[in-house]
Chains A and B, each alone.
Chain A
Amino acid sequence: MSRYLLKRILMMVLTLWIIVTLTFSLMHMIPGDPFASESDQLPEQILLNLRAKYNLDEPLPMQYLLYLKSLVMLDLGPSIKSETRGVNDMIKDGFGSSALIGLQAIAVALFFGLLFGTIAALNRNTWIDYAAMVLAVLGIAVPSFIMAPLLINYLAIKWPLFPVATLTSWKHSVLPSLALAFGPLAIITRYMRTSMIDVMNQNYIRTAEAKGIPTFLIVVKHGIRNAILPIVTFMGPLIAGLLTGTFVVEKIFAVPGIGKYFVDGIFNRDYPVILGTTVFYSAILVLIIFLIDLAYMFIDPRIKLSSRGR
């Protein structure tokens, strides 16, 4: 068990290192430097000072080592457009908002996805099933960047149920969370339906029926727990998608989260910010996938002690 954990943690560090190296080399493949556009406006000396400040005067391997060093000290680097505020400050600022929206979205997607999927599976080929499937297909077909303006149009402008723009109260977080949750909700509904149908056809369900257990209890005690297992395995990619979804949702709803800083960084070509936030996102994601794997071991007794391969 502990050996497995150690192995997994080493893999995590390795993955992160590869991501850091990859993004670092990508960012430095760009011809010129971040101040190229300003070089004709600024005096020579200031440019030199700026380059020195951001270690751009060092040779590339040195810059790389310096960057790794700062990462180990948990410093995600400076911003070029904002002199006083580094990536760490941005993340401190934005993490609360992003986490609130993201966690709410995951909670909504999981709860309703599992519920709808189960109900659809138990009422297979009835209108309930078809309604759930229409919802699922819509959720997959309508991306969050279309869902978001639709929600604004209907639930904020036509019928002003929820406020939008910025995040000054919990009510402001409802629509962004919904826009974000819709896609994963649809995917979970779909997989849960398939998985539940599969499980309900298993022999152990017949065994439970033969014991005289009522259908509802069979679904709860035998069905759901087994049907969730395959869902857990693709929660990783799902959460990755949700994470990238926050970029556009935060942009559209003007939520001051990390995603907004990231998108602004892209628009401003603020490379240190892009680099820093990417590393942060990757770290979060790798951590979440690790936690999901742990959760899987917890739910499925068959892989508790054996070190498992994917």
Chain B
Amino acid sequence: MAVDQSVNELFRPKAQKADGQIAQMRPSLTHFQQVTRKLVRNKLAMVGLTLIVLLIAMAIIGPHLVSYSYSDQSLLNANQEISSEHWFGTDELGRDMFSRTWYGAQISLIIGISAALIDLIIGVTVGGIAGYMAGRGKKGDRIDTIIMRLIEVLYGLPYLLVVIMLMVVMEPGIVTIIIALSATGWVGMARLVRGQILQLKNQEFIMAAQVLGAKFPRILLRHLIPNTIGVIIVNLTFTIPSAIFAESFLSFLGLGVQAPIASWGTMTNDALGVILTGDWWRLFFPALMISLTMFAFNVFGDGLQDALDPRIRE
């Protein structure tokens, strides 16, 4: 070094740094880590998740915690208030409300989850095909247009009205409800997936992958699915509660599950007749469960949506 050594030590030039050391990197998190972190920090979403887990657990073990089945009648014990014997009281046929409530939870969750899954499968397939076909020559565009027309017409139909029609026509039962709910329920998911794929297709990283020679399955697996999975899951957390709501709505209209099977909707409907007599527990428990379920799925879905949205920072 040709620099004069007599100057103040502080003014000695520092050794030159290697290239790599210059950049001051902040620790970066993967996308998944960021999403989970944001989600876990969202207290309301965590309350929702806890409630969902509790609901599922109670739906499974709840009916076995008491010695009564959901359909055991005992007219001697009709309309009993809550007690150590009947934790949620009994109805006008002396059936144990605790057992019925959790049995109803099974029915609601089965219907909600199955309908949502069927929506998911049909919606993702149809929406995916439309999105993939769009912009692939004349034929592809035509397929996309036909699917979109169908979707538009179905989307224009009032959802619950169609479900009611189907239920009027078909034999009542759990399977029928699931079919009726999925018959038009998939449309929303299909629209969402198609829109998402169309949007992604035009983005530069997909084009870059195509230019680099990636085949479609690879693009689908590595780019399209990871980038759409977020909105799909969020949509799922909203279709489950709306299916549960639709089921209780139908049961409330007398179109849902048939006695002696219990569902929260039928229990609410049964309770209306006794609202004046002061048997509050008849309405309280099924109403609370419906509301808690709707609450839990909705706040969890909201939290997930926020966590997946890169624009929302903590």
A binds B: yes
Complex partner residue of B169 from A27, A243, A285, CB under 8 angstroms: A27
B160 interface residue, CB < 8 Å from A? yes
Among residues of B, the one whose C-beta sits closest to the C-beta of A262 is: B164
* B168 lies within 8 A of A274 (CB): yes
Range, interface on chain B: 35 or more
Question: B183 → chain A, closest Cβ, in Å?
Answer: 11
Among residues of A, the one whose C-beta sits closest to the C-beta of B297 is: A141
| Chain B window 274-311, contacts with chain A (Cβ cutoff 8 Å), 1 for yes, 0 for no | 01100000010001001110110011000000000000
Name the A residues within 8 Å of B18 (CB-CB). none
Among residues of B, the one whose C-beta sits closest to the C-beta of A29 is: B169
B15 interface residue, CB < 8 Å from A? no
Q: Please tell me which stretch of A12-20, A37-45, A76-84, A218-226 contacts chain B, meaning at least 4 of its Cβ atoms lie within 8 angstroms of it.
A: A12-20
Question: A198 → chain B, closest Cβ, in Å?
Answer: 9
B62 interface residue, CB < 8 Å from A? no
* A30 lies within 8 A of B158 (CB): no
Among residues of B, the one whose C-beta sits closest to the C-beta of A284 is: B158
Complex partner residue of A243 from B158, B168, B253, B268, CB under 8 angstroms: B158
A160 interface residue, CB < 8 Å from B? no
B248 interface residue, CB < 8 Å from A? yes
* A149 lies within 8 A of B153 (CB): no
In the bound assembly, the distance between CA atoms of A301 and B180 in angstroms comes to 40
In the bound assembly, the distance between CA atoms of A138 and B93 in angstroms comes to 32
B23 interface residue, CB < 8 Å from A? no
B254 interface residue, CB < 8 Å from A? yes
| Inter-chain CB contacts under 8 Å: number | 102
* A141 lies within 8 A of B295 (CB): yes
A307 interface residue, CB < 8 Å from B? no
In the bound assembly, the distance between CA atoms of A130 and B252 in angstroms comes to 32
In the bound assembly, the distance between CA atoms of A18 and B152 in angstroms comes to 12
Q: State which residues 217-273 of A face B: CB under 8 Å.
A: 237, 240-241, 243-244, 247-248, 251-252, 263, 266-267, 269, 271
Q: Is the interface of B mostly helix, strand, loop or mixed?
A: helix
Complex partner residue of B253 from A22, A152, A263, CB under 8 angstroms: A263
Q: State which residues 229-266 of B face A: CB under 8 Å.
A: 245, 248-249, 252-255, 265
Q: State which residues 200-250 of B face A: CB under 8 Å.
A: 245, 248-249
B13 interface residue, CB < 8 Å from A? no
Q: State which residues 91-107 of A face B: CB under 8 Å.
A: none
Q: Is the interface of A mostly helix, strand, loop or mixed?
A: helix
* A145 lies within 8 A of B268 (CB): yes
Name the B residues within 8 Å of A252 (CB-CB). 272
B157 interface residue, CB < 8 Å from A? yes
A289 interface residue, CB < 8 Å from B? yes
Name the A residues within 8 Å of B61 (CB-CB). none
B165 interface residue, CB < 8 Å from A? yes
Name the B residues within 8 Å of A310 (CB-CB). 152
A202 interface residue, CB < 8 Å from B? no
B161 interface residue, CB < 8 Å from A? yes
Take A137-B299, A248-B249, A266-B253 as given contacts and tell me if A241 and B160 are in contact as well, using a CB distance cutoff of 8 Å. yes
Take A26-B166, A141-B294 as given contacts and tell me if A282 and B158 are in contact as well, using a CB distance cutoff of 8 Å. yes
A88 interface residue, CB < 8 Å from B? no
* A143 lies within 8 A of B294 (CB): yes
B159 interface residue, CB < 8 Å from A? yes
Among residues of A, the one whose C-beta sits closest to the C-beta of B299 is: A137
Among residues of B, the one whose C-beta sits closest to the C-beta of A239 is: B158
* A141 lies within 8 A of B292 (CB): yes
Among residues of A, the one whose C-beta sits closest to the C-beta of B251 is: A145
Question: A293 → chain B, closest Cβ, in Å?
Answer: 11
Name the B residues within 8 Å of A143 (CB-CB). 245, 248-249, 290-291, 294
Q: State which residues 143-171 of A face B: CB under 8 Å.
A: 143, 145-146, 149-150, 152-153, 157
Among residues of A, the one whose C-beta sits closest to the C-beta of B238 is: A140
Q: Considering residues A140, A251, A266, A286, which has the most beta carbons from chain B within 10 angstroms of its beta carbon? A: A140
B137 interface residue, CB < 8 Å from A? no
A295 interface residue, CB < 8 Å from B? no
Complex partner residue of A281 from B158, B159, B255, B276, CB under 8 angstroms: B158
In the bound assembly, the distance between CA atoms of A237 and B283 in angstroms comes to 29
Name the A residues within 8 Å of B299 (CB-CB). 137
B20 interface residue, CB < 8 Å from A? no
B156 interface residue, CB < 8 Å from A? yes
Among residues of B, the one whose C-beta sits closest to the C-beta of A243 is: B158
Name the A residues within 8 Å of B164 (CB-CB). 244, 266
* B152 lies within 8 A of A149 (CB): no
Complex partner residue of B291 from A146, A243, A269, A285, CB under 8 angstroms: A146
A142 interface residue, CB < 8 Å from B? yes
* A19 lies within 8 A of B157 (CB): yes
Question: A258 → chain B, closest Cβ, in Å?
Answer: 12
Q: State which residues 28-56 of A face B: CB under 8 Å.
A: 29-30
In the bound assembly, the distance between CA atoms of A26 and B248 in angstroms comes to 23
A and B contact pairs by CB, cutoff 8 A, 9 listed: A137-B298, A141-B295, A243-B158, A244-B161, A244-B164, A247-B253, A266-B255, A281-B161, A282-B161
Sorted from nearest, which 4 A-B pairs have the closest CB atoms? A141-B295, A141-B294, A244-B160, A146-B287
